[in-house]
């Protein structure tokens, strides 16, 4: 009785393997593209949102008069925060990115900081410059 089922089972197993019914082939994760590899992390300098991994590049001109563009030029990849007084989130973010003075990070208002946002509006972003992240260029 066993031999009667052995041949059909063997043929069925062979047919499943031939048709791809066996184990699924191992899928490989594609390598990151050049653009993904080159994006700046939070706290690094930038000149456009497309350069930042978070998609948000803040410059001092976005937050005048907090920063006077006549005496300082500053830029950083950053993130949005909840509003004035939401400094704890920004300080935590600064600490995660190993800022020298994370307790100095703050949540500030900024105008139109998104490159692809066509309206003049107020956003709140983490200012990481006082914490020691980003780039500062003093104006002479």
The larger pLDDT score, comparing residue 9 to residue 62, is at: 62
Question: How far, CA to CA in Å, does 131 sit from each of 11, 69, 124, 127, 128?
Answer: 70, 19, 17, 8, 5
Distances in Å between the Cα of 6 and the Cα atoms of 17, 80, 94 are 17, 66, 67
The answer as to whether 99 is a domain residue is: yes
Please report the pLDDT score of residue 3 as a whole number: 47
Mean pLDDT of 99-125: 89
CB 63 within 8 A of CB 127: yes
How many independent structural domains does the chain possess? Answer: 1
Asked if residue 14 is part of any domain, the answer here is no
pLDDT tens for 39-54 read 999 999 999 999 999 9
User: E strands of the chain, at which residues?
Assistant: 57-59, 72-77, 106-111, 122-127, 135-138
Contact 49/116 with Cβ under 8 angstroms? yes
Domain that holds residue 101: 41-138
In a domain, 95, yes or no: yes
Kindly state whether residue 132 falls inside one of the protein's structural domains.
yes
């Amino acid at each position: 009785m066993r031999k009667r089922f052995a041949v059909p089972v063997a043929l069925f197993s062979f047919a499943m393997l031939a048709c791809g019914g066996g184990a699924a082939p191992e899928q490989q994760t594609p390598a990151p593209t050049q653009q993904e590899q080159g994006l700046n992390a939070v706290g690094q300098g930038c000149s456009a949102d497309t350069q930042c991994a978070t998609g948000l590049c803040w410059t001092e001109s976005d937050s005048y008069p907090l920063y006077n563009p006549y005496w300082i030029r500053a830029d950083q990849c950053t993130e949005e925060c909840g509003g004035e007084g939401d400094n704890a989130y920004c300080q935590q973010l600064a600490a995660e990115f190993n800022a020298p003075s994370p307790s100095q990070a703050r949540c500030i208002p900024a105008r139109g900081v998104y490159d692809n946002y066509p309206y003049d509006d107020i956003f709140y972003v983490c200012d990481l410059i006082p914490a020691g992240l980003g780039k500062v260029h003093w104006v002479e």
